[in-house]
Amino acid sequence: MQLCRRPAGGVLMAPLLLLAIASTGRAQTPDRAQSESRSFSFLLGPDVILVQPHRRDSATWVGVHAEGLWRFAPIASLGVIGGYRWQPYSNVTLYDTGQSVRHDARLMLVVAELRMQPAAARVVKPWVAAKLGQGVLRESSSFDFLMLHEHRDRSQNQAISGLGAGLDWLFSTAFGAGLELRALTMKLDDVEIPMSSGNTEILESWWFGKLTMFSLGLNLTWTQ
């Protein structure tokens, strides 16, 4: 066997083999077997999102999310998250000239998540995750100056990526709750909007090239 031909490799692999054997033995207890078996969880909860915190025109959004999470290995789960986020108020910029700009935004997203968590069955379980998906940002801007009023809507579909971490509390084998932190980024482009004259106007997104979001979410979890 390969381990016999490479003694150095055998020395390195021996602790891993012993750990695997020990893990198998521990998995025979009812709680351990329940933890390590494959399971499906459904998560639902609200979010509070800080958008562009490094900029003067930062905003606070609110949102909701739902996730289906399949635990396919003792330490790994794969999930799909659907979310909707919006501004509960408008960003308003006032200029010395009397001009005002009002901006509103909404974001719909679908994100795949690879989550890693400890295999041991505990009341509190930490986890970390990587996320990749797609989002649709819809923006509305209104410009007012003297008797002039203009309104523009724009929408774009872009990739979203990010990281997450959280803690889950298990009330029972079926129900639990948790807190999670997410950091997501979304690249933005200028949007071309056809004008009534037949020309095309290019409007830059309010968020200038990249949308950065940090969110705090609450999860209510059901597992089967």
Provide the pLDDT for residue 135.
96
Measured CA to CA in angstroms, residue 135 lies from 54, 59, 112, 144, 147 at distances of 21, 18, 12, 30, 36
| Ranges of H-type helices in the chain | 2-5, 7-26, 30-36
Q: Report d(CA 129, CA 72) in Å as an integer.
A: 15
Tokens at residue 168, please? 């889950």
User: Residue 188's closest CA among 172, 203, 166?
Assistant: 203
DSSP string, 175-200: EEEEEEEEEEEEE---EEEE-TTS-E
Instruction: Collapse the DSSP code of 170 into the 3-class scheme (helix H, G, I; strand E, B; otherwise coil) and give the result.
Output: strand
Instruction: Collapse the DSSP code of 70 into the 3-class scheme (helix H, G, I; strand E, B; otherwise coil) and give the result.
Output: strand
Measured CA to CA in angstroms, residue 173 lies from 31, 140, 209 at distances of 9, 45, 45
Provide the pLDDT for residue 29.
43
Measured CA to CA in angstroms, residue 118 lies from 20, 32, 121, 189 at distances of 14, 12, 8, 40
pLDDT tens, residue order, the chain (224 aa): 444 444 444 444 444 344 434 444 444 344 444 444 578 999 999 999 999 888 777 889 999 999 999 999 989 999 999 999 998 877 776 666 666 777 788 999 999 999 999 877 578 889 999 999 999 999 887 777 666 777 778 888 999 999 999 999 988 888 999 999 999 999 887 665 555 444 555 555 666 678 899 999 999 999 98
Provide the pLDDT for residue 101.
74
Cβ pair 65, 47 in contact under 8 A: yes
Provide the pLDDT for residue 206.
67
The pTM score is: 0.73
Provide the pLDDT for residue 212.
92
Provide the pLDDT for residue 3.
42
